[in-house]
Structure 1
Amino acid sequence: MTTTLNAVLRIPPEDPAVAAAHFAASLAFHADVSDVASALEAATGDPGFVVVDTRSTAAWDQGHLPGAVHLPTALIPEQAEQILDKAVPVVTYCWGPGCNGATRAALALAQLGFQVKEMLGGFEYWAREGFAYETWEGRVRREVDSLTAPAGTDDCGC
């Protein structure tokens, strides 16, 4: 009798030690929107990292994280070392999960010697999860999208 595996198990899970190393490495490269928001809110001044918006000026003007530094990806090679401190870890973000601009920016910063993480979800999930953002008109906060974050609480439990 032949057993056909489903699409999930056709390629079996990796050895637990290898999987643990993979997931630990992933956390060294990424931070999610909720964790960034929590760290920024808990900080009484310096959170220990700087958030960098890597989008265009037009995108920045549509909205950006409070306290973020605006440094479009294309300008990183010529401006990063004048704007950022290599002793301070950097968290990059771009539009959202469908955009790899924050990844390209993180690569460019790492190549210049910066410690860097990418914020998963980008500006899209920051806004969808109901965190305040700034525009040229002031602070804005959208209703929480219940498909991206729990309504009525700041903690998803993960």
Structure 2
Amino acid sequence: MTTTTDSLTSAPAPNRVLLAAPAPPAEAAAHFRASLRLYADVSDVAGALSVGGDPGFVVLDSRSTESWDQGRIPGAVHLPTALIPERAADLLDPSVPVVTYCWGPGCNGATRAALALAELGYRVKEMLGGFEYWVREGFAYETPRGTESRTADPLTAPVAGVCGC
């Protein structure tokens, strides 16, 4: 077994994973249940959209027009975050859940959009990974040139088959 040591004292370094004890199972279950109510991943959104028909939710791209033009999820509604308070009622049915996305994990635009929608009374989830992971996982996207796709990145998606998680 390999142990790490603190380079200044030569004493064993604390196990940072267990420095804060894991939550009790009931607390952990409540947290993860709540997380699934607030977030959807790219693969699940793509799977729901690929079946055809009404998936039961609308996908909302909260980025700028310039970003939208670089590429977007097919069928997404474009509504930049700053315009949500004045335009949401014109574009979204309050009875239909909304899944927001922005650029990717390094951007909290989808979070801000989800908050703005929730404050207006919409049921909302944020799509983890955003447009970046949509593209990296190999799903088709629209641009002014038409529909495009890239080969799935083997660090983010299975190159053959399905994830199975």
TM-score of the superposed pair, with normalisation by structure 2: 0.92
- For 2:29 and 2:136, locate their aligned partners in 1 and report how far apart those are by CA, in whole Å: 30
Q: Unaligned regions of 5+ residues in structure 1, if any? A: none
138, 148, 163: which one pairs with 1:156?
Answer: 163
Instruction: Give every structure 1 segment of 4 or more consecutive aligned residues whose post-TM-superposition deviation is greater than 4 Å.
Output: none
The letter of the residue matching 1:131 is F
The letter of the residue matching 1:83 is L
The letter of the residue matching 1:145 is D
Paired position in structure 2 for 1:57: 65
The structural deviation recorded for 1:152 is: 1.4
Paired position in structure 1 for 2:129: 121
**What fraction of aligned residue pairs are identical, expressed as a percent?**
70
- For 1:4 and 1:18, locate their aligned partners in 2 and report how far apart those are by CA, in whole Å: 28
1:41-78 CA distances to partner (integer Å, 9 max, x unpaired)? 01x32110000000000000000000000000000000
The structural deviation recorded for 1:4 is: 6.5
- For 2:152 and 2:89, locate their aligned partners in 1 and report how far apart those are by CA, in whole Å: 36
Matched, 1:85 2:93: yes
Q: Unaligned regions of 5+ residues in structure 2, if any? A: 1-11
Matched residue SS, 1:117: strand
State the structure with more CA Rg.
Answer: 2
What are the residue-to-residue correspondences of 1:1-150 with 2, within 5 Å?
Answer: 5-42=14-51, 44-150=52-158
The structural deviation recorded for 1:157 is: 1.1
Matched residue SS, 1:78: helix
The letter of the residue matching 1:25 is A
TM-score of the superposed pair, with normalisation by structure 1: 0.96
Paired position in structure 1 for 2:5: none
- For 2:114 and 2:23, locate their aligned partners in 1 and report how far apart those are by CA, in whole Å: 28
- For 1:54 and 1:96, locate their aligned partners in 2 and report how far apart those are by CA, in whole Å: 12
State the superposition RMSD in angstroms. Answer: 1.2
- For 2:143 and 2:78, locate their aligned partners in 1 and report how far apart those are by CA, in whole Å: 13
- For 1:123 and 1:81, locate their aligned partners in 2 and report how far apart those are by CA, in whole Å: 24
The letter of the residue matching 1:122 is G
